[in-house]
Structure 1
């Protein structure tokens, strides 16, 4: 795992309101150091061919590449990925992924199919059916209890150091069936944070799939799809889901929990 600097300290003019007296307050400005989360271009390059450029927090890029490659269906198993190298470039990073010849051929075919299309504008798709991938079914597990969700929520802040420093990143955590967080990853993009987590989990092929993912964001259909694509059956989000996230969770047979707060949450699919 390559250690990368992900926080920049900058001096900013901080504007705040202070009380001048019991009946009067004023606005004032002062210089202070502010911790800013880094966001840089990250190019995913497969067998020497650049596929996509993502904006991401530049840490855990190997895990990011593995997770992205799996959840986007570029690889169907970890064994399709022969190697990952992270290379610093002038304005960001290149992540060089070596794919099996079979999966690289499929990726090239996908790229040819996208060339020149001007349909709905989503990834070059020509129809709604092409634009929205239906998630595969998962092996159903029991949804975590309220007490288990509370355990995970109580630990999340301790696994989000970048968020504490910058207030600008999302977190994705893997929680055991009893709610204890096993690992967590952060990124300016919630999808990226989840991809990093999934990449790390797939470096441990014996991880217990009875656990669940906890994200510090809303639950979009993309997050549901990424979880379903690798067989994760439960997604818990601190914010709301969308209608399509609920529909896709139901199609996949997943548990989807939203508005997770201490002492309460909403079960949208189970």
Structure 2
């Protein structure tokens, strides 16, 4: 199924709240503003509680599939057999069924406490799992730096939820010439990227020589998600960490960081 370039704005993703707007000169005005929703999302695999994420309650099927890949519970989309989303109190329970040949991976990665984002690290008792070897990217991005500037300039037009609330991150799949092909949004930067990856997997959409653009810092977790999703280049609006550069170098991932309208930082391993 084709993925929508812009995901429809779910009514569950935001709500209206009244505020008092106070100006620098002391004048106060009552206003109503749309605020991004953030609720607990409990992920279960084969009936086992695995993680609790704080996320925007939209595109949760995409989130589940992308998170499964980022967590290395699956390698390809068809190893996810089913995703069921159920309202539960203040949040949602997302039940994921995996193919039997990968189901045993769950027990190796079961978490022992709730996390506040899809970081892929929180709650892991064995620290050796945090920096497991990454595969080589294996594909090449044909994108020139000008494509990053073009994608950045267009990103705002594809961020319906952020335009409404001003409080969420975006992750975009971009063509080699900088055209934005698909966007997903979430209050969490990790969740937004997982949603994008999941949407692409479910739609059988390839990077096709393009790249990912994220509206966040370039942390090592974002690098790992890009590598595991076989993305050939990651562009980020903020700076990378040293570990992110090291992990990108080891996996052969091209990085573009601090992407602004007038400049960017390039790293090609």
TM beyond 0.5: yes
| Bigger strand fraction | 1
> Are residues 1:100 and 2:99 paired?
yes
- Classify 1:158/1:60 alpha carbon distance in 2 versus 1 (closer, same or farther; 3 Å): same
Aligned to 2:34: 35
Aligned to 2:20: 13
> Are residues 1:48 and 2:47 paired?
yes
- Classify 1:115/1:35 alpha carbon distance in 2 versus 1 (closer, same or farther; 3 Å): closer
- Classify 1:70/1:180 alpha carbon distance in 2 versus 1 (closer, same or farther; 3 Å): same
Larger Rg: 1
Give the Å deviation of 1:4: 4.8
Aligned to 1:86: 85
Match of 1:231, SS?
Answer: coil
The TM-score with structure 1 as length reference comes to: 0.88
Runs (5+) with no aligned partner, structure 1: 18-25
Aligned to 1:176: 175
Runs (5+) with no aligned partner, structure 2: 1-6, 114-120
RMSD across aligned positions (CA): 2.0
Give the Å deviation of 1:181: 0.3
Per-residue deviation, residues 184-240 of structure 1 (Å, max 9, x unmatched): 010000000000000011123252431100001111000000110121110000111
* Residues 188-197 or 135-144, more deviating: 135-144
Distance 1:169 1:202 in 2: 22
Distance 2:149 2:15 in 1: 33
Distance 1:37 1:47 in 2: 31
Distance 1:37 1:65 in 2: 20
Kept in 2: contact 1:209–1:233 (CA 8 A): no
Aligned to 1:199: 198
Aligned to 1:165: 164
Per-residue deviation, residues 108-161 of structure 1 (Å, max 9, x unmatched): 2443xx779xxxx9533344x333233221114146222211211111001111
The TM-score with structure 2 as length reference comes to: 0.89
* Higher relative contact order structure (alpha carbons within 8 Å, sequence separation ≥ 6): 2
Give the Å deviation of 1:162: 1.3
Match of 1:222, SS?
Answer: helix
Aligned to 1:72: 71
Aligned length: 255
Kept in 2: contact 1:86–1:93 (CA 8 A): yes
Match of 2:102, SS?
Answer: helix
Kept in 2: contact 1:173–1:184 (CA 8 A): yes
Kept in 1: contact 2:85–2:95 (CA 8 A): yes
